[in-house]
A = this chain, B = another copy of it.
């Protein structure tokens, strides 16, 4: 039954909370947690600073809410790894989905990267609760594929780390990538070709 002490949010509540979180994503992903200020978030959101604090309990609350809301979206590509598909094609499709995420959601990628880089001080419980069981279950799936001789023997944990690292690199270290890719060629097109070839060669020994 619904808890009578918890009101359902009004339309204005929903809209403003959403506006604030969008602004916070922009500011936190650019400057990191500590480098971001409520002033910047308020300005980006077009609201006054006290009004921001009317909707959230403080800076940390905004950050944690943002990370929690994005967590599911962030894990989706891995969730979609399908036990009934062809192992090699499933993993290569996963690589492509992760690369697409880096291209389409670089701010989200950098937001997570900054949090993990500093030891996940606010997100650790979320990682334990959601990332870890998913990671373990997908590692188990890959191990069954290996046991069925449908993949060469490898450590699924390091395989997944390689996929995360090599795809998210294009979002997280975009400033360095764009400095070094100084011609007009499409970076993500080249990255896709490279990563597909690399993981395919490893998975089809």
Contacts and interface: CB of A to CB of B under 8 A. Distances in A.
Contacts of A32: 32, 34-35, 114, 117-118
Contact of A194 (B116, B162, B172, B177): B162
Interface stretch (A17-25, A47-55, A195-203): A195-203
Interface residues of A, number: 53
A31 B195 CA distance: 32
Contact of A155 (B117, B136, B162, B193): B193
Interface string A151-194: 00011011101101110111011011101110000000011011
A132 B182 CA distance: 10
A116 B113 CA distance: 11
Contacts of A170: 161
A15 interface: no
Interface stretch (A62-70, A80-88, A120-128, A142-150): A120-128
Contacts of A180: 131-132, 135-136, 157
Contacts of A33: 35
A172 B176 CA distance: 16
Contacts of A31: 34, 118
Contacts of A9: none
B117 A159 contact: no
Interface of A: 30-35, 110, 113-114, 116-120, 124, 127-128, 131-132, 135-136, 154-155, 157-159, 161-162, 164-166, 168-170, 172-173, 175-177, 179-181, 190-191, 193-195, 197-199, 201-202, 205
7 contacts: A34-B35, A113-B113, A114-B114, A117-B173, A154-B194, A158-B195, A166-B166
Give the 10 A-B residue pairs with the shortest CB-CB distance, closest first: A165-B169, A34-B35, A158-B194, A165-B165, A34-B34, A201-B201, A119-B175, A198-B202, A201-B202, A165-B166
